[in-house]
Amino acid sequence: MKEIKEKDQEIPIANLKGTKRWVQAKRITNGDSLLKIRNELVEDGYMRIIEKVKLMYQQLDHSTIVFERDYRRDKSQGLFGMHTFITPHFYFNLECRLTFDFIIEYDFYNCPFEDAVSELMLGFPYNKAAIHTPQKPNCTKFHERVLNVQDPIYHIEIKPQTL
């Protein structure tokens, strides 16, 4: 029994235990350049899509409250989540899997720009990284529940663009 305890203490996993998974992925994938490049493309593309979706919401004739939270440097939340963006019509979530792959979960519900967003997600790396994940019972109800339980500092109002 003593041998096992001593051997366990030599394993550096304890140092990684509380580290965000995406940080581990960036550190560990140094030897796997394809995974590193793919993850960088997924993360960068995810953020660019959010910026484009925000611009699309500004084109509507009414304000929209969205939930947006960056978990990458948030020590109060889990180790796998990286970023979440939720509207009444669209769910977009970036996380790092146990395999160190960055993936995007998404869903639409009566989204006025579903076709435009879907087009943004065509091709590599989204064909490998984007997973349709239906929200129960739909994005609108899920959005309402999230706004009810999450801190208001993560509620953002997107107002119509005025000239």
Q: Give CA–CA dist 121/118, Å, rounded.
A: 5
Which residues on neighbouring strands pair with residue 109, listed in sequence order? none
Q: Give CA–CA dist 38/92, Å, rounded.
A: 18
The tens digit of pLDDT for each residue in 7-65 reads: 333 333 333 445 656 665 666 655 567 888 888 899 999 999 999 999 999 999 999 99
Contact 100, 35 (CB under 8 A): yes
Question: Greater confidence, 74 or 25?
Answer: 74
The answer, as to whether pTM is greater than 0.85, is no
